[in-house]
Amino acid sequence: MNATGARRVRVNWTRIAVVAVVAYVGAGSASSALHFWRLYEQAKQLSAQLAIVRQHNQVLGRDLKELHNPAVLRQMLTGQRPLPNAIWPRQ
């Protein structure tokens, strides 16, 4: 107690600073984890889209090989063989 009779309140600045730093680092870690999760989800979506594109590319490659063969091309032009389907379904 001091001369006026009031108790003096002591503030532990070190503890306040430690709590502030831990809260700041914790918030940064949570933010980083959220960003990594979003990137992981985007990578999964892109992998699925890439698999579809690779499948379409494989079919196009087969169709191009057929078109480079004169006998197959002649059959397509005369109607003995169907034309390759160039319209892809939207996904």
CA 81 to chain centre: 42
Q: Which of 77, 50, 54 is nearest to 66 (CA)?
A: 77
**Global confidence as pTM:** 0.58
In whole angstroms, give the CA distance from residue 58 to residue 89.
15
pLDDT level of residue 2 (50, 70, 90 thresholds):
low
38 within a domain of the structure (yes/no) = yes
Give CA separation, 24 vs 27, 36, 59, in Å.
5, 18, 53
> What tens digit of pLDDT does each residue of 20-66 get?
999 999 999 999 999 999 999 999 999 999 999 999 888 888 888 88
pLDDT level of residue 91 (50, 70, 90 thresholds):
very low
Amino acid 14: pLDDT: 94
27 within a domain of the structure (yes/no) = yes
73 within a domain of the structure (yes/no) = yes
Amino acid 86: pLDDT: 61
4 within a domain of the structure (yes/no) = no
Structural domains in the chain (count): 1
In whole angstroms, give the CA distance from residue 63 to residue 65.
5
83 within a domain of the structure (yes/no) = no
Domain that holds residue 17: 13-78
26 within a domain of the structure (yes/no) = yes
Q: Is the pLDDT of residue 19 over 70?
A: yes
